[in-house]
Amino acid sequence: MIDLFLHFLPTLAALGILPLVASAGFFRPAWFGRPWRLWLAIESGWRRLARRPKLAASLMCAIQLAGVAVRWAFLGIPVPHVHDEFSYLLAGETFSLGRLTNPTHPMWVHFESAHIFHVPSYTSFYPPGQAVAIAVGYLLGHPWIGIVLSTLVMIVVVYWAARQWLSPYWALLAGLFGLCIVLGGYWTDTYWGGAVNAIAGAMVTGAAGVLRRRASALHLTVLAAGAAGCAITRPFEGLVLTVLLTGWLFWRIARKGPDALRAYARLSLPAVLFLAASAGIFLYYNYRVTGRPLTMPYSEGARQYVARRKFLFQKDPPTPVYRHKEMRDIYVGLRRTGQPQHWRVFGNLKLLFGMYLSIPLVPVFALAAGLALFGWRSRQRPLILTAVGGLAAVLTIPWINPHYYAPFATVMVVAAVAGVRFLRFVPYAGGRPFWIVAATAVCILGVRGAINLSNEARSEPRPAVAWGIERREIEQNLVSRPGRDLVIVRYKPDHNWYHEWVYNHAEIDASKIVWAREMDAANNARLFEYFKGRNVWLLEADMKPPRLTPYPMPGGATPAR
């Protein structure tokens, strides 16, 4: 019951505290006309910290590391349990081995799984950006290390980008928003990521903030690097962000006259060279993975497997021919056609606001967006409009996860802080009573951070992770046994397609454990012959608990020991 109350505490605050504060500030401005002494003391310390950005960034990173330590102490290292996580882990392991992809395995039909293709090569069909962070983790000892490092970099880069658009006082608040996104959230506790996407978007956002004031070869290159990062993490959302901000930046520079344009053009050579090199690398990556420079891995994967439309205004494509019922269940299930379209949009909006702002601050963001749309003159207006444009673009996707919007993380939090800042200075009845909104925002962030840390201190993992833990325990049991193993996975007809067991390492033949789908007798016989000498097991994945027994082998095959 306490956990349930804490989970809904931000929503309760939205429904109770903010309307109460707003009405009191409007009808009884004398109550809040001058900040209380306690808040003045807090503000004094806040200003001192804001003037020391390196210290502020270090403290935010320390808080994130504390959350990671709490997670590690109570629940251990995260266990992959979502299709996307296994796909990213495969690509990250591949990169860590010094390869861009892997050759097609002769027995690949037994190894098919979600968000992975085996022909023309064997790898994830997601963009490679998240996998790069995971590869760093593999090289340092564990893929989760790469995830944690990416969240620390994100905290620093989002804070830096916010400082290019806000005063130090308000940028610190934006930095805390960035911290709360990763603190105790799935960007830290899973291998899906989000932080790498946000880093790329923050680079574009921060560089645009510098370039609106002055020409800089360094920041033009940072802008180019951010755009390239968006291309290899969230290509669609990153393209929208880059086009909106660079288009606005070009318009702003052009208004200053030809001399300004020439000044920026003279300094753009490093950025142009960086973009050209990045494009060449990306085309080569496509060529190695799909065999065609202009065909991205996701496009190839979608052609082979994906059975749902990419945007709301499209129709679902024809259902591909699948070799396994479980694969069909996954991709047809991902259509999620059971909910009306308008409810999908509402659900996606609620998901995004809850992740990036917390529900109580949605009215503040809405105020900033409304003011910007009606011509509010503010330095943050381009970012507010970009945040709105990003929402419009992302909401064209039928079903989303919050990390889809990650390139816009910085513009979203800056837009929300701009709304808080506006209210902070609104005069009313001879005073400025709405300073209490800024205080409330800080309190909400504090409560949210405490809730996130309490979530990390759970004694039991979430139910959705349970099957992933069962898979890990079976792996650990097999690793402790002598010899190498082949695990044949058998599902029941009513199998839950979220729980997919068949995932393998980049080097399948060299793996201690190989997971394979059970097929007909002829295909199974060829599989057993190929992996002759391995212990062969049958995993009945839908038993409670999953049951691992020696496979009933035909004569002459090696039994499991």
At 525 the pLDDT is 94
Tokens of residue 236, six digits: 């669609």
At 561 the pLDDT is 56
CA distance 121 to 291: 9
Residues 6+ apart with CB under 8 A from 47: 168, 169
User: How far is residue 202 CA from its own chain's centroid?
Assistant: 14
Sheet of 535-540: strands edge to edge? 513-517, 485-490, 535-540, 547-550
First to last CA, the chain: 47
At 265 the pLDDT is 95
Tokens of residue 490, six digits: 């058998």
User: How far is residue 152 CA from its own chain's centroid?
Assistant: 14
CA distance 183 to 60: 10
At 432 the pLDDT is 67
DSSP per-residue letters across 13-31: HHHHHHHHHHHHHHH-HHH
Q: For 358-408, where are the alpha helices, taking DSSP H only?
A: 362-373, 381-394
pTM, 2 dp: 0.91
At 367 the pLDDT is 86
3-class DSSP string for 328-354: HHHHHHCCCCCCCHHHHHHHHHHHHHH
Residue 495: name the closest of 333, 287, 289 by CA: 333
At 433 the pLDDT is 65
At 446 the pLDDT is 81
CA distance 131 to 120: 20
Helix (H) / strand (E) containing 236: helix 235-255
Q: Could you read off the pLDDT of 368-392 as tens digits, one per residue?
A: 899 888 888 888 999 999 999 999 9
Q: Any bridge partners for residue 395, and if so which?
A: none
Residue for token digits 């997919």?
A: 500
At 161 the pLDDT is 98
Q: Any bridge partners for residue 490, and if so which?
A: 540
At 442 the pLDDT is 79
Q: What is the mean pLDDT of the chain?
A: 89
Helix (H) / strand (E) containing 204: helix 195-211
Query: What length does the chain have?
Result: 561
Tokens of residue 453, six digits: 């840390």
Residues 6+ apart with CB under 8 A from 476: none
Spatial contact of 538 and 552, defined as CB atoms under 8 Å apart: yes
Residues of the chain where predicted confidence (pLDDT) is lower than 50? 1-8, 10-12, 14-16
Spatial contact of 543 and 499, defined as CB atoms under 8 Å apart: no
Q: In the chain, what are the domain boundaries?
A: 2-76+143-267+339-456, 464-550
At 454 the pLDDT is 80
* Measured CA distances, 481 to 329, 502, 513, 539 (Å): 34, 20, 11, 16
Helix (H, G, I), strand (E, B) or coil at 391: helix
CA distance 56 to 155: 11
Residues 6+ apart with CB under 8 A from 413: 158, 162, 174, 177, 178, 356, 357
At 502 the pLDDT is 97
